[in-house]
């Protein structure tokens, strides 16, 4: 049991299976480029059987973020569900090896450990096919109340909203955290996810369950149903949240009441794979928040982490982000 936690993440526990491909393959497989599509176990098994020299690593959006938080030297913990199968055991070992505390009991029965097939095209765009599997069976009983209360920041993954049991666990953690006067952050995850659950996400904000939002431009526009980013940011201001909105090569905008911070993207040598860019931006931002940094400094740490992750395959940093921040003159 972790006595003190800086950032606790709750999310879909997925094994990422990452492969390089081209647009023709995506079209042949009837995939929507750049989107996340939910698939069933039969389709997952077919894609797994057809894999060609992929990179396999434990993943899931919130798990990627918490690994990034730990790489900054900040104490991270995670709650998520896998099955007691080979992929599930690999997920647990891999996550713990990064220094993240993970003690959720694996499921003995039910669907297999979830997996996400990530196809990266030469332009660096990623297309995801996701079998949620055991991850969607995360239940309120898996939420450790003491762990939630011990965390300075609780970070919730919007993708979890797709399944009732995981949604209930999500709500339990958020409400425990707010009652304990902790910060609760929500990543909107995907514009298609926002389209499905817009009203419920806005309700979480307006009821005060969530006080911090992470989104890209498409997601924040979808949330507030406006074609104008300025209008979407104004709506977030009225809702009283801190909103960190990423804009790819344009950097990010962070709003907090009347304050607006525009932070440029960190320069890169080459774009290889955008998988995990938003997850690692959130990692840097949350690491800064946990250490008491101001919002502009948090966004700079987010930009640094995102820049590191998009220059190689996969959503895990290849260097210690704490050292990268120090060498870049950004303290955590």
Percent of the chain whose predicted confidence (pLDDT) is above 70? 98
Total of domains in the chain? 1
Higher per-residue pLDDT: 174 or 18: 174
Domain membership of residue 316 (yes or no) is: yes
**Domain with 206 in it:** 5-11+61-110+135-327
pLDDT tier at 332, thresholds 50, 70, 90: low
- C-alpha to C-alpha distances, 89 to 67, 68, 104, nearest whole angstrom: 17, 21, 12
CA-to-CA dists, residue 62 to 113, 256, 330, angstroms: 16, 23, 23
- Give pLDDT, residue 133: 93
Whether residue 332 is contained in a domain is answered as no
Q: What is the pLDDT of residues 258-291, one digit of tens each?
A: 899 999 999 999 998 888 999 999 999 999 999 9
- Taking the CA atoms of residue 293, residue 295, residue 301 and residue 303 in that order, the dihedral angle to the nearest 10 degrees is 180
Least confident of 42-56, 134-148, 186-200: 42-56
Residue 242 lies in a domain: yes
Structure tokens at 312: 């190689």
Q: Give the pLDDT confidence score for residue 80 in this predicted structure.
A: 97
Q: Per-residue pLDDT for 52 more than 80?
A: no
- Residue 100 located in a structural domain: yes
User: Does residue 244 have a pLDDT over 90?
Assistant: yes
Does residue 196 lie within any of the structural domains? yes
Q: What is the CATH number of the domain that holds 199?
A: 3.40.1190.20
Would you say 34 and 182 are in contact if contact means Cβ atoms under 8 Å apart?
A: no
Q: Express each pLDDT in 115-124 by its tens digit.
A: 999 898 999 8
pLDDT at 45 over 90: no
Q: Which of 159-173, 241-255, 318-332 has the highest mean pLDDT?
A: 241-255
* Spatial CA neighbour of 71 closest among 278, 313, 283, 329: 283
135-151 tens-digit pLDDT: 989 999 999 999 999 99
pLDDT greater than 90 at residue 57: no
| Predicted confidence band of residue 2 (pLDDT cuts 50, 70, 90) | low
| Joined tokens for residue 236 | 């977030």
Calculate the dihedral angle through the C-alpha atoms of 191, 207, 165, 34, rounding to the nearest 10 degrees.
10
Q: Does residue 110 register a pLDDT over 60?
A: yes
State residue 214's pLDDT score. 98
Taking Cα atoms as reference points, which of 216, 289, 287, 283 lies closest to residue 256? 289
Q: Which residues lie across from 256 on neighbouring strands? A: 242, 259
Share of the chain above pLDDT 90, in %: 75
In a domain, 177, yes or no: yes
Say which range, 20-29, 105-114, 287-296, has the weakest mean pLDDT.
20-29
Q: Is residue 49 part of a domain?
A: no
Residue at 118 is within a domain: no
Is residue 21 scored above 80 in pLDDT?
A: yes
Average pLDDT over residues 39-56: 83
| pTM of structure | 0.91
Q: Residue range 303-332: average pLDDT?
A: 92
């Amino acid at each position: 049991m972790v006595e003190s936690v800086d950032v606790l993440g709750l999310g879909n526990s997925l094994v990422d299976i990452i492969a390089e491909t081209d647009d023709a393959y995506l079209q042949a497989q009837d995939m929507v480029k750049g989107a996340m599509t939910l698939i069933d176990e039969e389709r997952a098994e077919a894609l797994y059987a057809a894999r060609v020299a992929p990179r396999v690593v434990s993943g899931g959006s919130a798990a990627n973020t918490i690994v990034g938080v730990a790489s900054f030297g900040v104490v991270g913990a995670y709650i998520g569900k896998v099955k007691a199968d080979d992929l599930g055991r690999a997920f647990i070992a891999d996550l713990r090896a990064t220094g993240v505390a993970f003690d959720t009991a694996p499921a003995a029965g039910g669907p297999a450990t979830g997996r996400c097939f990530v196809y990266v095209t030469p332009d660096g765009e990623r297309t995801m096919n996701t079998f949620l599997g055991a991850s969607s069976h995360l239940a309120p009983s898996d939420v450790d109340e003491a762990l939630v209360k011990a965390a300075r920041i609780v970070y919730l993954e919007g993708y979890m909203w797709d399944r009732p049991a995981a949604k209930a666990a999500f709500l339990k953690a958020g409400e425990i955290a707010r009652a304990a006067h902790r910060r609760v952050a929500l990543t909107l995850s995907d514009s298609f996810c926002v389209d499905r659950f817009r009203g419920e996400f806005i309700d979480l904000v307006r009821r005060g369950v969530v006080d911090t939002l992470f989104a890209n431009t498409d997601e924040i526009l979808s949330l507030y149903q406006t074609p104008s980013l300025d209008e979407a940011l104004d709506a977030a201001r009225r809702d009283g949240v801190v909103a960190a909105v990423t804009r790819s090569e344009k950097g990010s905008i962070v709003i907090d009441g009347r304050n607006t911070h525009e932070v440029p993207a960190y320069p890169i040598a080459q774009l290889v794979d955008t998988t995990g860019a938003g997850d690692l931006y959130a990692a840097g931002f949350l690491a800064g928040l946990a250490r008491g940094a101001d919002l502009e400094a948090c966004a700079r740490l987010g930009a640094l982490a995102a820049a590191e992750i998009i220059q190689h395959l996969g959503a895990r940093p290849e260097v210690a982000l704490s050292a990268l921040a120090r060498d870049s003159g950004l303290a955590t």
